[in-house]
Amino acid sequence: MNYRPLLRSLAASAAFAAALALAGCETDGTTPSARSLQPISSAMLAEIEKKNMAKESPILVRLFKEEAELEVWKEDKNGQYALLKAYPICRWSGELGPKIKAGDRQAPEGFYTITPGLMNPNSNYYLAINTGFPNTYDRANGRTGSFLMIHGNCSSAGCYAMTDEQIAEIYALARESFFGGQRAFQIQAYPFRMTPLNMARHRNSPHMAFWKMLKEGYDHFEVSRREPKVDVCEKRYVFGAETNGRFTPVGKCPEYQVNEDLMAAVTEKQQRDDKQFAELVNRGTATVAVKTGSDGGMHPTFLSAIQPYNVDSDGVVRARVAAGPGTIPANIRLPSERAPDQPTGSLAIAEPSVPRSTAQVASADSGSGGWFRSLFSSAGSQSSSSGAAEKTSPNSKAKAKPAPAKPTQTASRPKQQTEPQHASANPGAIQPKPQPKVQEANASPTPTPGGNLMSGAQPTVPTGGFENRFGAWR
């Protein structure tokens, strides 16, 4: 009989409990919850095998506010990411646009690196994954806030809220990727799918310059199906950069290179998208309101499951509702007009205009304490400014939450087509070759650590790490 899985589970449970006792984190107890150790379902394991993936292979998460969807991508045996599953988001708060300051109810947008220390097994919102906001880009631009999560309980105040059933599966997939050796996974949070049609619909937004910058990272992933490398310099994201210099968030960018094949593929996509965007604008594609006055959104799957008689005059759900993707608890406010006593979302704040660029993963630092972090990093690892647990639930019962220069338009005219709801196989995905093409920015270089994490992230696994503790049982 193979005892390794059992031994690993027992050893992990003991380590989790010890770590919690030492960390002093804000949790609902001193031992890891059973819900944090739930196995991946047999149906999900079958889907993983069907898609030529391994249970413990790396993951990547994408979030889309307007569509209210969370995607989990997983690396297949060919070394590229493929879409494993798209989850409808039960609730997100605020308006489209980045989080600017604490209390604005905005859910973050950008590129975030999730280390084991950001996994909270004892969340008041069932289970939670801290986004690590503010990351290096956010801090460089003076943005404030903390404890912004992906969690359960379908209740959001600046978070991406799933049902308890959904977050249990997402949490398990992340946990297994850490067991498989992934030191950190990337979250890409977008206002909407970065398609020409959506960019045309939102072209009047004061956040458009910021969104165009996010689209560069989006395009890098779309054409390569690999996690984009993200750095920050001159207060902006830089994607796909290779350099011997050092990136400083507010300093000048060092000279860097971007893989020639990757740059060519991204440029081609940007030219195609720019052409289609111009055609849509010329045809008078309608724009959407910059501010809607509503507080966030909920996927139609959940909205359609809630009957009118089960909602009070304040837009609060009276009794729990069973929906396909999970259970909507009672006392959840629907995404309608804000209550008078609620803070408003971020106002129209002009974003700085930035040139297109390409680079290393904009990361959040690993959270302080945390039982999961203790499995993967030494006791001497630095802690982050972001916490690993959020505050107590507002409900009465505690509940489980470079680019190339701007390209010219191509001669060919792409066909206008309806944008797909979910990402599909990308026939244009590339396998970047090692030959780089130099693109110069500014400033003198100094050595920087390698790897796939943005400056500021600390996902290292030194002597006290997971492999040293549990390698004998793997």
Instruction: Report the relative pairing of strands 160-161 and 149-151 from DSSP bridges.
Output: parallel
Quick check: 445 and 255 in contact, CB under 8 A? yes
**Alpha carbons 128 and 401: distance in angstroms, whole number:** 5
159 a catalytic residue: yes
Active-site residue, from 25, 90, 154, 159: 159
Kind and range of the H or E element at 82? strand 81-88
E-state strands within 300-363: 321-323, 326-328
Residues ≥6 apart with Cβ < 8 Å to 188: 60, 61, 62, 63, 111, 217, 218, 221
Alpha helices, DSSP H only, in 256-381? 260-282, 300-303, 371-376
Size of the chain, expressed as the number of residues it contains: 474
**Alpha carbons 239 and 136: distance in angstroms, whole number:** 14
Helices (H) then strands (E): counts for the chain: 10, 16
**Alpha carbons 464 and 377: distance in angstroms, whole number:** 6
Sign of CA dihedral 115, 121, 123, 126: positive
151 a catalytic residue: yes
Active-site residue, from 151, 207, 220, 299: 151
What residues pair up with 88 in beta bridges, in sequence order? 69
**Alpha carbons 121 and 123: distance in angstroms, whole number:** 6
**Alpha carbons 371 and 387: distance in angstroms, whole number:** 13
Quick check: 56 and 467 in contact, CB under 8 A? no
Catalytic residues, which ones?
Answer: 151, 159
